[in-house]
Structure 1
Amino acid sequence: MRIEEWERLRKEFLEPLTEYSRQRMRLYLNQMPCVIKKYLEEVKAGGSIIKSDTLLPHYIIRYVKDKDVGEAAEIQWKEMMENIYQGEENKFKNCLAVCNITYAMSAASITELAASLGILVSELSEEPAWKGKVITLGPLRDKLPLLHSIQGSDLKSRYDFVIRACSNSYSQGVDFDQVCDLILEVAVNNNLKAEQMIKKVFLFTDSVRFGGCSTSWKTLYEAKRSKFKEQGYGDDAMPHILFWNIWDIAGFMHRVEEPHPGVTLLRGNSNTLIKSFLDNGGEISRHQIMEAAIANKEYQTLSVVD
């Protein structure tokens, strides 16, 4: 989709939908908790058939902490993972998550979203060097990235681990130059072949600073690609980078930019956008942003009036 076409569609369609979303969201947020908990209570009682696609990951995470329906939420997570994302259709088998949960993420829903997507990606990675792993920033001011093996025998304990490991008090952004160096170091130390290299890296954060901001995306990406090539991983081994600022929800307006091939910058979040991310293996484009914006059934009867 050309930039000019995207801007036209954004102005003529996305902005009116944004205003409509503001009004609908208030009502939806008030009703949703009751609906979800009722469903999980029925699952717990054995009176409801478990539907794999009923709940998105961050809602399951929210209720796995609930003493009344936590066990049912755990069952829901396992059902979701086994029947939707794993197996031959696993689109996240060579992906890695970076979670940067700063204290600015005061909204529990944002923290739950970052942690749930980080856990999901880690569990779906198939290569031993990456499976069950997540990258976080170090606790010191140098913020050197660290690769963690997520600990915990159940979903709640894994969530608690990710929150502890990924939380930091320095919200100055992520230096992706160092993240790429860490990925390459792990690959070299484990003697990984080119086909075992991570193909996509997802950064879930609330920070707007990214990638050593004094460096252009083209310069950063091409420099890292040269490093990967020098280590024998080929010209196309550099992972695709998705930087997702999930905090920016003030206007419910999704924005996506592609400053350089191999780099996608995404801002905002909604249930339809999260579902699009999951259904497409982390691939996000302007076309998918538009589809996500008009996916809700109630939008189908709307018309734009000048």
Structure 2
Amino acid sequence: MRRLSFAALRLREPGEVHCELARELFAAFGIDQVHLVLLGADRKGGRGTQYLPGPGDEAIEGERYAYPFDSGSAVQRVIETGRPHNEADAAASFVTKPELVKRFHAASALFVPVAFEEEVRAVTILVSETPRVFADDEVQLAYTLANQAAAALAGLEMRSRLALRVERQTALARAAGALNARLDPRAVLDTLCREADLALGGEIAGVYLGDAETGGLAVAAHGIAPDSSWYGYRIKPGEGVAGRVLQTGRPVVTNAYRDEVRTPASDALRDVETAVSVPVRWNGELKGALSVAFSSMREVRAEDIETLQAIA
């Protein structure tokens, strides 16, 4: 508990906090697996990450998977109540997902919320591959550890928001300067991609030029290697988040990129988890889409979309 209580002071990424939480749970309970399910923006599903005990008291990351929230499921109950759910017989349970039993061999499980700002952001699942009843004091300890992780995550999110707020203002100013400068169109688009990526703290950003009938041509990017096959790739209408934008003319966000959208055939997009795209309009007419992508699940807020639209 002591290591986790100081996590907010020394850990820099949410993934590091998740791994630290898993390590503390392994040490405290001697369980076989820890799963962390991060909620998507629509709260209808999330992304699960499996952790396994490793050498030297470490937690190592295992599989990643999509986790739809079924009505009445244990995860859904925890999201709605904000309280832990103890499942002694996972195989016979009506609320434990069969996938957890079949794919991950769960015999018993304890579902614990990770919540801050009065909202459940994730659900931690303690998995035992042999039958086990978690005692009341064990449930309370797991809940306490999850709350400590939540405090660390809240601190990281606050620092990230403050840093991005400053970056947004400077990015908007630089983007406006690029539009006013005498630059060729490609240089302007490259600049807009860079500023969009920096403003949202993404890994990659790109512009597709096109419309709802022809799809979009990948013409400019930031964070994608110059020799990538992404450049010159033509997305079909409805393909990827940018293809959906071209199809609808409205912003599109996904927290499960590989599961929720038809993904373009490009290695540059292979590791994308979260993506957001907005229309590019010239004189009010739809001319393309500006997209920013992240390699981990990230909440995309209204202010993020507004910033991206201002740049586009």
Q: TM-score, length-normalised on structure 2?
A: 0.24
Higher RCO, 1 vs 2 (CA within 8 Å, ≥6 residues apart): 1
Higher helix fraction (1 or 2): 1
